Structures are given as C-alpha cells and as structure tokens.
Structure 1
C-alpha cells in the first residue's frame, strides 16, 4: 500500500491543477497560471500513459521533494522519483489498471512564477475497490512557460481504526537529524508552535497561522480554512478524551527554501508524545509559510500520520 500511496501523491499536482476552478473559490487564479497548469497536466498524462518513469520525472524540478504520509522519509530529487516510478510500473505493481479521481479546491498565484494549491484524491483499483482517500497541498514553479512540481505533500485521511502508534523499539527515524537553518524568524515560529502544543494552547497555535491559512491534514476529512476554523480544530484536538490531549510535539525540519521574498517552503518530520514521553504518532509535513511584519506564520499546513499495519 505504500507504493500505491506514493503514486497517488506524484500525480496529484498534474491531475489536480488541470481541473482548477476559475470561480471565486480560487481568487489567486489567472489565465496564464491556468494555461501553464493545463500544459503540465497534459504532458504528465502522456508520460503516465507511456509508463515512462524518466519522462514523468521531467514534470518535477531537479530538486523537487515528495512528502507522503505512508513513507518514513520524503522522496528527494529526480533520481528518487525515477526509482519509485520504475517500481510502480513493474509487472507486480498494484497500480496497473487503477484509476485516480482528483478534485482541486484551491489554486493560488504567489507571484514570481510560484503557485500553490490543494484538493482531494481517490484511488480506485481495477476491481473498483477504493484503495485510498486523501488530500494534497502542493507548491509549483513556472519554468520556461510551464509548471513543474517543487514540493508535493499528500496524505490519506485517517480512520478511527488506523494504528498510529509505532511498536515498542521502533527505530525507523534513528539517526535522522534536522538540517541547519539560520532564519531566526522561521526558527522562532517553530519554537512558538512546539511550546504552544506542549501547553495544549489552541489560541496560541492558531495565532501561528495567517488569517487566510489552510490546514490540509490527515486527521480531518476536509480542508480547514481560515484562522477561526483552525482555532476550532485545535480545540477539538485537545478536548478531554482525545488521544492528543496532554501531548507534546517534536518537529524535525529536513528541507527549507525561500519562495520569492515573502514565502518559505519547508518540510520535515513530526512526532507526538504523551505525558510519559512515549511516541503515540509520527509522520511528515510539507508546509508553506509567509513572512508577516517580522514574523513567520503558516499559510498552508499539509501533514499526515504514518499508518502502521497490525
């Protein structure tokens, strides 16, 4: 199933951007962005039909990253993408004969050729079985008149029956170290976020998002839009009886890049611990941040939990 989910993620931007709505739900759309996204989707679909791993990888920037909840670590660069696609198109792949339904809910121009968006996906097997339902939140760059994927972050919707707690002695992340980041505003944001979580302070956590922010997270079936809704989501996270009440969170940044003058794309790992310091859930995040008045806040959070097999 990890392989299945990887392939969902890597086709999301190509398929999703193509179906971008030009109505009021997508105020950042413009004709040039829509033309570029359509061209990207067309070339991606042609490469997919050929099942050509190398050709598909050309739909990404050379240093693109793919962040998927059921992979322990992100997929880095074209070589990593080619390897995954090649495996996916092998004779034993469960992807053969499957179909993908994608809906784009938001598509926004950041300026300077950068754009981001989010939506939903459903993967259906050749036997008409729903294999995966999830959401995506991605960042793209216009290059030579066409879009290429820069940061992809896609995650399945968590079910009540899903096992999120790693087994005792889990060492999958041993030796994984954070990258060195010198951006003091970004580091201050990360520190405030972790301290607010440790205090289960919903208002302080919501304050780390922009007013127009979106949370695209596996624990919610729908995108959470705007700071008021985000505040409510954190109140629900820490309500008495919730698995996350009384927890703390560790975040490990693995990638960081400036997006123009006012935005940052970053990705990494997260780990939630109970009051005894025991890890009860872990996963990945691939987020978009905006600088506002000397501070950094989240514009789009796209994160999901690793689901363990019983």
Structure 2
C-alpha cells in the first residue's frame, strides 16, 4: 500500500489541473493560466500513458517537494520522484493498470507565474475497486508558458476507525530536525498557532488564517473554506468526544520558500500529543501563507495524518 500513497500524491496535481476552475467567478482567473494548465495536463497524461518515470518527473521543478499522508517524510526533487514512479509502475505495484478520477475545486493565480489549487481524487484499481479517496492542495509555477509542480500535498480522508497512534517504539521521526528559518513573522505565526492549539482555542486558531483561507485536511471529507467554516472545524476538533480534545501540537518545518513578495510555501511534519505527552497522531503538512500588514497567516492548509495498519 505504500506505493499507492506515493503515486496518488505525485499524480494528483498534474491530473487535477486538467479540470481547473478557471471560470470568470474564480478570483484568480487568468487565460494564460488556462493555456499553461492544458499543456501541462496533456504532457503529464502522455507520460503517464507510457508509464515513463523520467517523463513524469519532468513535470516538476528540479527542487519540487511531494508531501503525502502515508509517508513519514516528503519526497524531495526529481531524483526522488523518478525512484517513486519507477516503483509505482512495477509489476508488483497495486497502481499498475489503475485509473485516477480527479476534480479540481479551486485554481487561483498568485501572480508572477505562481498558482495554487485544490480538489479531490479517487483511485480505482484495474479490477474496478476504489482504493483511495482524498483531497489535494498544491502549488505550481509557470516557466516559459509551461506549468511545473513545486509543492504538492495530497492526503486521504481519515475514517473514525483508522489507527493514527504510532505503535510503541516508533522511530520514524527520530533525528528529524527543523530547518533554520530567520523570517520572524513566519516564526511568530508558528508560535501563535502552537500556543492556541495547546489552549484548544478555536477562535485564536482561526485568527491565524486569512479571510479567504482554505483548510484541505484529511480529517474532513470536504474542503473547509473561509473563517466561519474554519472556526466551526476547530470547535469540532476540540469538542466533546473528539480524539483531539485536550491535545497539544508540535510542528517541525522542513522546507521554506518565498513566493513573490507576499506569499510563502512551507512544509514539514506535525505531531499531536495527549495531555500526558503520548503521541496520538502524526503526519505531514504542505501549506501556503500570505503576509498581511506585517503578519503571516495561512492561505491554504493542506495536511494529513499517517494511517497505521493494525
């Protein structure tokens, strides 16, 4: 199943842009983005049909990162992507002969050739079995009129019966250290978010998102859009009977990239702990941030939990 999650995340953005919402009601509408989207989709689909790992890797920037819920750490760069595609197309892979259904729900131009979007996916095996359902929230860049993927973050929808607590002796994140970040506004945001979570303060957490923010998270079957819905989602997170009530969160940033003057793409790992310090869930995040009046806030959160097999 590990290959399944690898490939889902790797192919989601490329396939997803095919159906990008580029209508005039889209606040980020740009006809040039549509043209680049179509060219990228055609190129990706052609490479996928050939099951050519190298061709598929060419659909990514050299330093692209892929953040997938069922990997402990991100896939880094073209070489890493090629290795995963080669494995995914092997005869032993459950992905061989599978198909992917993708719907893009949002596609927005950030300016300077950058864009971001989100949507849903369904993975179907060669035997017509639904293997996975999930969501993606990703960032791309247009270079010489062609879109390439920069940061993708894809996660399956978590079910109540899924096992999220690591087994005893789990050492997957041992030795993983945060990168050095000197952006004080970003660091202040991370600190506020952590403190608000420790207080289970839904209002304070919501304040760390922009007015037009989206939460693309594994614990929700649908995208959560706007502060009102985001506030409600956090109230449910800490509500009576929730596995996350009374918890704290640790986040470790592993990547940081400026996007123009006002945006940041960053990714890393997260770990949620119970009141007695036990880890009850861990996973990855690949988010987009916006600077507003000297303050960094989340524009898109795309995060998911690692699901352990019983």
Unpaired runs of at least 5, structure 2: none
**Distance of 1:78 and 1:295 partners within structure 2:** 33
**Distance of 1:91 and 1:65 partners within structure 2:** 26
SS of the equivalent of 2:82 reads: helix
| Residue 18 of structure 1: how far off its partner (Å) | 1.2
Query: Per-residue displacement from partner, 1:128-147 (whole Å, max 9, x unpaired)?
Result: 11100000000000011100
SS of the equivalent of 2:221 reads: coil
| Residue 93 of structure 1: how far off its partner (Å) | 1.4
SS of the equivalent of 1:229 reads: helix
Moved over 4 A (4+): none
Residue 72 in structure 1 maps to residue 75 in structure 2: no
| Residue 24 of structure 1: how far off its partner (Å) | 5.3
Task: Say what the alpha-carbon RMSD is for the aligned residues.
Answer: 0.8
| Residue 10 of structure 1: how far off its partner (Å) | 1.1
| Residue 23 of structure 1: how far off its partner (Å) | 2.9
Partner of 1:211: 211
Distance 1:65 1:90, change over 3 A: same
| Residue 294 of structure 1: how far off its partner (Å) | 0.4
**Distance of 2:23 and 2:31 partners within structure 1:** 12
Q: Quick check: 53-62 or 90-99, which moved more? A: 90-99
Unpaired runs of at least 5, structure 1: none
Query: Per-residue displacement from partner, 1:135-161 (whole Å, max 9, x unpaired)?
Result: 000000001110000000000000111
| Residue 168 of structure 1: how far off its partner (Å) | 1.3
Give the structure-1-normalised TM-score. Answer: 0.99
Query: Per-residue displacement from partner, 1:4-54 (whole Å, max 9, x unpaired)?
Result: 111111111111111112335532121100110110000001111111111
Q: Would you say the 8 A contact 1:26–1:105 is kept in 2?
A: no
Q: Would you say the 8 A contact 1:253–1:269 is kept in 2?
A: yes
**Distance of 2:26 and 2:300 partners within structure 1:** 15
| Residue 263 of structure 1: how far off its partner (Å) | 0.1
Q: Would you say the 8 A contact 1:25–1:106 is kept in 2?
A: no
- 1:224-239 matches, cutoff 5 A: 224-239=224-239
Query: Per-residue displacement from partner, 1:196-235 (whole Å, max 9, x unpaired)?
Result: 0000000000000000000000000000000111000000
**Distance of 1:309 and 1:24 partners within structure 2:** 44
**Distance of 1:137 and 1:195 partners within structure 2:** 25
| Residue 56 of structure 1: how far off its partner (Å) | 0.6
Partner of 2:202: 202
Give the structure-2-normalised TM-score. Answer: 0.99
**Count of residue pairs the alignment pairs up:** 310
Q: Would you say the 8 A contact 1:18–1:34 is kept in 2?
A: no
Q: Quick check: 74-83 or 46-55, which moved more? A: 46-55
